[in-house]
Amino acid sequence: MKGLSDKIYDALRSVKLAAALIVLIAILAAAGGIIPQGRTIQFYTQRFPGTAEKLILALGLDKIFTGLPFLALASLFTVNLTICSFHRFANEMRKPRANRRHGPDLLHIGLLIFIFGGILSSRTRTEAFIYLGKGQAARLPDGALLTLVDLREERYPDGRPKSWESSVVIDDKAATSLTGVVTPAESGGDTLGESGYTGEDPRIAAGGKAPQVPTSPGSGGVTTASTALAHEAGALAQPTEVRVIKVNNPLRHKGSTIYQQDWNSELRVVLEDAMGIKLRLEPGTLAPMLGGSVRFMTVEKHEPSQAGAEECSNYKAVFLVSTAAGKEILRAGKGDKVGTFTFSSFEEAPVSGLKIVRDKGYPLVAAGLGLIVLGTFLTYIRKLKGMFA
Amino acid sequence: MIATLSFALLLISMIIQAVYLFRKDEAKDPLSPWLALGAGLLLLAEIIRRSVAIRFVALTSMFESLLFMACLVSFIVFALRYSKRLRAGRAITFGATALLIIFLALASSPLAPAEMRPPVPALQSGWLVLHVSFTFIGEAFFAAGFVGAFLQLAAKTEEKRRNYDRLAYTSIAIGYPIFTAGALVFGAVWAEKAWGVWWSWDPKETWALITWLTYTAYLHFRLVRKNTSKVMPILVIAGFIIAMFTFFGVNFLLSGLHSYA
C-alpha cells in the first residue's frame, strides 16, 4: 500500500499531469497570442470596446505571461519535469547499458536548464538603446568607453537597407579615468575638433566624464542617449582595436553585447563665431563662449510654408544661452545671433542605433537549447531510420 | 513559370490519383509519385534560381516559403509511396497532393507577392536560413501527419485506423525534432543575434510555441492513451491548423517582429 507521500510523488511525476499542463499552458499562450499584451488601457478600450475590454483587464488577459495563472502552471510544469526527469534517469541507469535510452533525459534536462536560464534572464537582463554619431561615445555598463569611429550604410537600388555597419573602439582603461571622452583625431574631424575648440581648453574639458548608458531591468529601456553623451574633447584615448558591429553580428565585450539595431539621421546646427570659425553641435551639446555658453537643445520642426522650399527653412533651433546675467531660451533661425555666435545652418548627420544588452541567463538558455535539440533528435532518430527501411 | 509548370504536374497527378481512388482493387498508379517528384524538383530549381538572383538563400518571403514547403511535401509524397515500412495508401498521397495544390494556389495569389527582393540586414543570417528551412521541413512532415490523422478519423476499419495512426505518428515523430530545432532553437539563436533578445512573446514566436506544445502534448498522450483514442488524431489536426495559422494567419492578422516574413 502506497503512502501519501508516494502518491503525491507519483502524481507529480506522471505523464498525464505533464500532458494536461502542456495543454493548459498552450491554451493560455493562445489567449496571449490573440490578445495584444502589455498595452495601455486606452488601447484595449479602442480595440475591444464594451464588455470584452472589462473582461480582459479584470482577468489580467493583458499580461498573461506574467500573470499568476500562467506562472503557476509553468511552475507546476517545472516541478513535474524535474521529478519526472530524475525518476526516468534513475530508471534508465538501472537498465543494462545497451538498453538505455537517454534521448528523453537529455531533452528534459535541457528544458530544465533552459527554464532556469529563462528565469535568470528575466530577473537580470538589462538593455539600453543609444544613437551615436561618428566620433560620439557612450559608457558601457562596466564603465568602459565605447566610441563610434565610423559608420557605413548600403542601400539596394529600391531604397531598402542592404547593410548597416558600425566601427567602434572600446577603451577599458577609460573605466577608471576621470575624463573618458570622445577622440577628435579618430572622429575624422567631424566633431568639435574641426572647429578648433579641441585640446585642453578648460571650458570644454570641465566635467568631462561621460554619463553612463542608462539601463533598465527587463526590457524596453529605450533612450536617445546621444543627447546625454559626452562630447567634450580631451585627452586622446589609448590606441585600441577597431571592431565592427553589423546586424546579425553583434560585439560581445565583458558581459555586454552590442547590437546594430537601427540607422537614422540627426540634425546638427552649425554656429559661426566672430572669426568665421564654424562649430558643429549635436543636440544636447555645449559650446563655450566668452562670459558663458550656448547649449543646442533641440529642433522645432514646422512644415515648409511653400512648395519647393528647402526642407529645413522653417525649422527653428532651440538654444539655452547662459551668461552672467542669467539663462535664456532662444529659438533661432538661420542668420540669427545666438550669444556671440551666428546660427549658420542645419546639417544632417547619420547616427547608428546600437542596443547594449547584459543577459546573464543567455549562456544557460543557449546550453539548454543545445541539449533540447540533441535530446529530441536522439529520441526520435529511430523513426527517421525506420521510414525508409 | 517554373512554379506554374509544377502546379500543372501536380494537377495531372491528382487527376490520375482520383481515378485510381475509385477503383475497387488496391492497385496504385505508377505515374503520380513521379509527377510529384518532378514537381518537387522543378520547385527546387526555382528556389535555386531565385537564390542565385538575390544572392541569398531564397527563403525570406512568403512566396518563397510556400514554394519551399510545397517542394518538401512533394518529396515526402514520393517517399511515402515508396516506403515499405509505412505502406501509405492511395488516400494519403491523394490528400498530401491536395495540400500541395493548396500551397501552390496560395503562392500564386496576391497574398504572396512573387517579386524577387534581396533581404534586408536582419534577414542576412545563416541562422535565419536554418530557422526557416528546418521549420518548414518539420511542418512538411506535420502536413503528412495531418493527412494521416484526418484519414484516421474517417477510417471505417480498425486495420485502416491503425495504419493511418502509425503513419501520422511516424510523420510527427520525424517532424517534431526538426521543427523543435528550426522554429524554437535556431529561431531563438537568430533572434538573439539579430534583435538582441532570444524571446520576446512576439505573436509569431508565441504561436510557434503553441504549435510545439500541441505536438508535445500529442507525443505525451501517446504514452498514456491507446492509439485508438480520437484525442490523438484531433491533436495532430489541431497542431497542423495552428502551424498554418502561425505561417499565414499571424502574418496578416497580428503584427510583430516577424512582419517581414
| Beta bridge partner(s), residue B42 | none
Q: List A260's β-bridge partners, or say none.
A: A354
Burial A258-272 (b: 16+ CB within 10 A, else e): bbbbebeebbbbbbb
Q: Give pLDDT, residue B64.
A: 93
Lowest mean pLDDT among A21-25, A53-57, B257-261: B257-261
Split into its structural domains, chain A has a count of 2
pLDDT given at position B136: 95
Residues A89-97: contacts with CB within 8 Å, 24+ apart? none
What is the residue-averaged pLDDT of chain A?
80
Residue pLDDT, tens place only, A120-133: 999 999 999 999 98
Name the burial class of residue A159, with classes exposed (0-12), middle (13-18) and buried (19+) by CB atoms within 10 angstroms of its CB: exposed
pLDDT value, residue A201: 28
Q: Quote the domain boundaries for residue A54.
A: 4-124+362-387
A250 to chain B, any CB pair closer than 8 A? The answer is yes
Q: Do A247 and B188 touch (CB under 8 A)?
A: no
d(C-alpha A209, C-alpha A167), whole Å: 22
Whether chain B has a CB inside 8 Å of the CB on A343: the answer is: no
Q: Give the pLDDT mean for A259-265.
A: 90
Chain A touched by B124 (CB under 8 Å): yes
Contacts of A338 (CB under 8 A, 6+ apart): A271, A294, A317, A319, A321, A330, A332
Instruction: Kindly indicate the confidence band of residue A303, based on its pLDDT and cuts at 50, 70 and 90.
Output: low
Q: pLDDT of B39-78, one tens digit each? A: 999 999 999 999 999 999 999 899 999 999 999 999 998 8
Percent of chain A with pLDDT over 90: 45
First-to-last alpha carbon distance for chain A, in angstroms, is 46
Same structural domain for residues A47 and A139?
Answer: no
CB contact (8 A) between residue B121 and residue A248: yes
Is B173's CB within 8 Å of A380's CB?
A: yes
Is A22 an 8 Å CB contact of chain B?
yes
Q: What is the pLDDT of residues B151-166, one digit of tens each?
A: 999 988 888 888 889 8
Provide, as residue numbers in chain A, all residues whose Cβ is less than 8 Å from the Cβ of B213: 22-23, 25-26, 29
- What end-to-end distance do the CA atoms of chain B give, in Å? 23
Nearest CA-CA partner of A357 in A29, A130, A58: A130
Which region, left, alpha or beta, applies to residue A348 given φ > 0 means left and ψ of -120 to 50 means alpha? Answer: beta
Instruction: From residue B112, give the alpha-carbon distance in Å to each of B8, B65, B116, B235.
Output: 19, 9, 11, 29
Using the Cβ of A11 and the Cβ atoms of chain B, whether some distance falls under 8 Å is answered with no
pLDDT category, A213, cuts 50, 70, 90? Answer: very low
A162 and chain B: CB distance < 8 Å anywhere?
A: yes
Residue B256 in this model has a pLDDT that exceeds 80: no
Q: Find which of B77, B84, B174 to mutate to test the A interface (most A CBs within 10 Å of its CB).
A: B174
* pLDDT tens, position by position, B197-237: 999 888 899 999 999 999 999 999 988 876 667 889 999 99
- B13 part of contact set with chain A, CB < 8 Å: no
Q: Angle, to 10 degrees, between the axis of helix B158-179 and the axis of helix A362-387?
A: 140
Position A81, amino acid: L
Grid cell listed for A45: 478600450
Q: Does one domain contain both A229 and A324?
A: yes
Residue A224 pLDDT exceeds 50: no
3-state secondary structure of A340: coil
For A272, the 3-state DSSP assignment is strand
User: Are A46 and A105 members of one domain?
Assistant: yes
Confidence of residue B81 (pLDDT cuts 50, 70, 90): confident
**Which grid cell sits at A369?**
537549447
Of A366, A380, A388, the CB nearest to B177: A380
- B174 and A CB contact within 8 Å: yes
The average pLDDT across B102-115 equals 89
φ, ψ at B134 (rounded to 5°): -65, -40
For residue A162, pLDDT over 70 is answered with yes
Q: Do A276 and A352 fall into the same domain?
A: yes
Pair A27, A109 in one domain:
yes
Closest-CA distance of chain A to residue B248, Å: 14
Q: What is the ipTM of this complex?
A: 0.90
Please check whether residues A216 and A331 belong to one and the same domain: yes
Q: Cβ(B133)–Cβ(B182) under 8 Å?
A: yes
The partner residue sitting opposite A161, judged by closest CB among B120, B184, B197, is: B120
How many CB atoms are closer than 10 A to CB A349? 18
Residue A219's φ and ψ, nearest 5 degrees, are -135, 170
Pick from A26, A127, A376: which is nearest to B213 by CB? A26
Residue whose grid cell is 563655450: A288
pLDDT of B193: 94
Nearest CB partner across the interface for B194, out of A156, A247, A373:
A247
Q: Determine the Cα–Cα distance for residues A279 and A261; give it in Å rounded to an integer.
A: 30
Residue B177: pLDDT band with limits 50, 70, 90: very high
Taking CB atoms and an 8 Å limit, are B84 and A389 in contact across chains?
yes
Task: Flag if B174 and A376 touch (Cβ within 8 Å).
Answer: no
Cα separation of A321 and A100, whole Å?
78
Residues A138-149 have pLDDT tens digits of: 988 888 899 999
Q: Where along chain B do its domains lie?
A: 1-114, 123-261
A235 to chain B, minimum CA–CA distance in Å?
33
A134 plus A233 within the same structural domain: yes
What is the model's pLDDT at position B259? 57
Q: Is B88 on the interface with A (CB under 8 A)?
A: no
pLDDT at B255: 63
Chain B interface test: which of A259, A354, A376, A388 (most B C-beta within 10 Å)? A376
Say yes or no to pLDDT of A179 above 60: no
Q: Are residues A64 and A204 in the same domain?
A: no
Contact B195 A156 (CB under 8 A): no
Averaged pLDDT for residues A256-270: 90
A367 with A311, same domain: the answer is no
Residues 6+ apart with CB under 8 A from B81: B28, B32, B33, B88, B93
Residues A134 and A190: their CA atoms lie apart, in Å, by 7
When pLDDT is cut at 50, 70 and 90, the band that residue A271 belongs to is very high
More confident of the two residues B254 and A100: A100
A71 contact partners, CB below 8 Å, separation of at least 6: none
Q: What is the pTM of this model?
A: 0.82
- Same-domain check for residues A347 and A368: no
**Is residue A313 over pLDDT 80?**
no
Nearest-CA distance from A50 to chain B in Å? Answer: 21
CA dihedral sign of residues B223, B227, B231, B234: positive
Please give the backbone phi and psi of residue A262, each rounded to the nearest 5 degrees, phi first: -155, 170
Cα–Cα distance, A56 to A44 (Å, whole number)? 8
Q: Are residues A27 and A150 in the same domain?
A: no
Beta carbons of A317 and A301 less than 8 angstroms apart? no
d(CA A54, CA A76): 29
One domain for residues A51 and A137: no
Predicted local distance difference test score (pLDDT) of residue A198: 28
Contact B146, B236 (CB under 8 A): yes
β-pair partners for A329: A320
What distance in Å separates the CA atoms of residue A371 and residue B210, rounded to the nearest whole number?
20
Q: Does A65 touch chain B (CB under 8 A)?
A: yes
Segment A54-74 mean pLDDT: 91
B243 exposure class (CB count in 10 Å sphere: 0-12, 13-18, 19+): buried
Q: Chain A residue with minimal CA distance to B84?
A: A389
Backbone phi, psi, residue A273, to 5°: -90, -175
A220 — pLDDT class (breaks 50, 70, 90): very low
B80 → chain A, closest CA residue: A387
For residues B177-213, one letter each, b for 16 or more C-beta atoms within 10 angstroms of the residue's C-beta and e for the rest, the string is bbbbbbbbbbbbbbbbbbbbbbbebbbbbbbbbbbbb
Residue A95 makes CB contacts below 8 A (sequence gap 6+) with none
Per-residue DSSP letters for B55-104? TS-S-SSHHHHHHHHHHHHHHHHHHHHH-TTT---HHHHHHHHHHHHHHH
Q: Which residues pair with A126 in a beta bridge?
A: A217, A358
| pLDDT tens profile A35-52 | 888 888 888 888 888 888
| Cβ neighbours of A4 (radius 10 Å) | 7
- pLDDT band for position A311 (cuts 50, 70, 90): low
Chain A residues closer than 8 Å to B201 by CB: 32, 37, 65
Q: How far is the alpha carbon of B9 from chain A, nearest alpha carbon, in Å?
A: 25
